[in-house]
Amino acid sequence: MTIKVADHSAGLARRSVTPFEVLAQSVANIAPSAVIAFSPGFMALYAGNGAWFSFAIGMVIILIVAQSVSVFARRRAGAGSLYSLVRPALGPWGSMVTGWALFIGVIAIASGSLAGAGFFASGFLEGFGVTLFQPMGGQIVIDAILLAGAVFLTISGVRIAARVSATLEVLSIIVIVIVLVIVLAKSGNVIDTAQLSLNGATVDGIVFAIVLAILGFVGFESAASLGEEAKDPYRAIPRAIRRGAIFTGIIYIFATYVQVAAFAGGADGLGKSLSPMDDLAAQYGLDGFVPILNLGFAASFMAVVIACMTVAGRLLFSWGNEGLVSPFFGKAHVKHRTPARAIYSIIPLVFVPAAIVLSLGVAPLSATTYIDTVGVFGYMFAYILVCIGAPIFLKKTTGKSVGFTMVLGLIGAASLLYVFYANVWPTPAPPLDSLPIYFLVALVVGIVFFAILRSRKPEVAANAGTFADDNPEPADD
């Protein structure tokens, strides 16, 4: 295979990010605390006592996808994440469609998470008598303030953003685990036979909840966006991808099991709660933890916003360097060596969807779920293409483990396709029925753009996914 070396004169902080910071990027993008704050409740609404099982299935699917991502990441690294990785296997078209689907995913989840950050930040401030941000108008204002903070951190440096996000996330997880252990012990329902036997859970409900489970893992591969900046990227990135997914999967299964076991009314009661962890703490006399939980959840959602903007900015940065969009976006900040121009340009894409949905009177955590679900479809589409491309890539390069990788890739792609199908048929109730449509419309916009570019400037379109480095010797796991 011809070794491609990207032009690095654009100025990102090349080979400056440590393996810990690479892992921090993935964990920050996953943001387990934010997921624990709302996903188990919504999943219990559909899967009942099978909510924890939906998370377990989701983790298996993600680990299969992680193996396919690692196939590329051990041999290729670039700022464009999955977009850059799949180029040798799927060509310009496959690379662009993967990158655009991923871009939809990170923008939507950044926007939905912004709504979640505003909700919990206003809840924290309410504990000190500040109610200014409780109305919907106030929610939009606090979202704007939080977005400004996220932009500042994202532009100030990827190492700073990763460390701040990871520190806040770890502290939040510690508090959550302490609360969960206490309430489980107080509940007297440590061995919940209803959950362990999946009592009352249906196959359709469990499958429908898997999309929310996958939402909890999306971004696990975001370490790949640091392929330009990571030290020893061919080892650090695959390890971060797998370890981040395993760690968060264990946390999710435990947290979901405990919430259902300890919540008054079980899965039904949990599914009706607007703020499950707050209600659970209050139910067991742990009201003093509520402000700390709200602060931790707000910080966790902020970590998602920062991590998603990190990926989105580097995607746009890659496109600028390849000529697919204006070269303006392909220049780094002179001092901070981050894609500042690209990050500034995505501010309205992140803010406007959250502001519109909130202005329609949708509750903040519902807004998070709806907007994030659109993003999940983007991630799943990109993951499907990665699963398809991994064995093709191996066949073109080493020729080793092609059959094994093909089997895993087919399982991963088929699982993701089935999850998507289960969420569109039978048609779910509004507004869930329209969410796949929003994603497909956004996807078509990108495809049409690239088709026009290819017809007018084929030599430019051929550059899609080329701003990356190839490793001549595959890294060991």
Whole-number Å distance between alpha carbons of 220 and 215: 10
Residue type, position 44, single letter: A
pLDDT at site 472: 67
CA distance 336 to 39: 35
Examine residue 431 and say whether the peptide bond preceding it is cis (omega within 30 degrees of 0).
yes
* pLDDT value at 4 more than 50: no
What confidence score (pLDDT) does residue 38 get? 76
Q: Residue 241, exposed/middle/buried by CB under 10 A (0-12, 13-18, 19+)? A: buried
Query: Three-state SS for 390?
Result: helix
CA dihedral 329, 331, 334, 339 (to 10 degrees): 50
pLDDT tens digits, 9-51: 446 777 778 888 888 778 877 878 888 877 898 899 989 999 9
- DSSP bridge pairs for 469: 77
Question: What is the tens place of the pLDDT at every residue in 97-108?
Answer: 999 999 999 999
Q: What 3-state DSSP class applies to 410?
A: helix
Q: Which residues of 377-407 are buried (b: 16+ CB within 10 A; e: fewer)?
A: bbbbbbbbbbbbbbbbbbeebeeeebeebbe
SS3 339: coil
Q: What is the mean pLDDT of residues 451-458?
A: 96
The pLDDT confidence band at residue 464, using thresholds 50, 70 and 90, is very high
Query: What's the chain's average pLDDT?
Result: 89
**Sequential DSSP letters for 113-172:** HHHHHHHHHHHHHHTTT--TTSSHHHHHHHHHHHHHHHHHHHHH-HHHHHHHHHHHHHHH
Q: What pLDDT, on a 0 to 100 scale, did the predictor assign at position 96?
A: 97
Which of 437, 396, 440, 390 is CA-nearest to residue 410?
390
Question: What pLDDT was estimated at residue 5?
Answer: 43
Residue 367 has pLDDT above 50, yes or no: yes
pLDDT (0 to 100) of residue 145: 97
- Could you tell me which CATH number the domain at 28-470 has? 1.20.1740.10
Please return the burial class of 337, using the count of CB atoms within 10 Å of its CB with bins 0-12, 13-18 and 19+: middle
Return the top range by mean pLDDT from 25-39, 55-69, 421-435, 461-475: 55-69
Classify 337 in phi/psi space as left (phi over 0), alpha (psi -120 to 50) or beta. Answer: left
Give the integer Cα–Cα distance in Å for 116 and 297. Answer: 8
Query: Token pair for residue 258?
Result: 């405990």
Packing angle, helices 290-322 and 136-156, rounded to 10: 60
- Return d(Cα 139, Cα 132) in angstroms, integer: 9
pLDDT value for 356? 97
pLDDT tens digits for 285-305?
Answer: 998 888 888 888 898 899 889
Most confident option among 203-217, 257-271, 292-306: 257-271
pLDDT (tens digit, 9 = 90+) per residue, 131-188?
989 899 999 999 999 999 999 999 988 778 777 777 878 888 888 999 999 999 999 9
Q: Where are the domains of the chain?
A: 28-470
Residues 218, 375 contacting (CB under 8 angstroms): yes
Peptide bond into 291 cis (omega under 30): no
pLDDT score, position 429: 82
Predicted local distance difference test score (pLDDT) of residue 1:
41
Q: Pairing relation of β-strands 468-470 and 76-78?
A: antiparallel
Between CA 92 and CA 111 the distance in angstroms is 28
Lowest-confidence pick of 3-12, 21-30, 413-422: 3-12
The answer to whether 475 and 234 are in contact (CB under 8 A) is: yes
pTM of the model: 0.88
Query: Is 7 or 334 the better-scoring residue by pLDDT?
Result: 334
The contacts of residue 341 (CB under 8 Å, 6+ apart) are: 320, 328, 329, 331
Provide the pLDDT for residue 2: 41
Per-residue pLDDT of 316-366, as tens digits, reads 999 999 999 999 999 988 888 899 999 999 999 999 999 999 999 999 988
Residue 3: pLDDT band (50, 70, 90) is: very low
Rounded-to-integer distance, Cα 262 and Cα 284, Å: 9
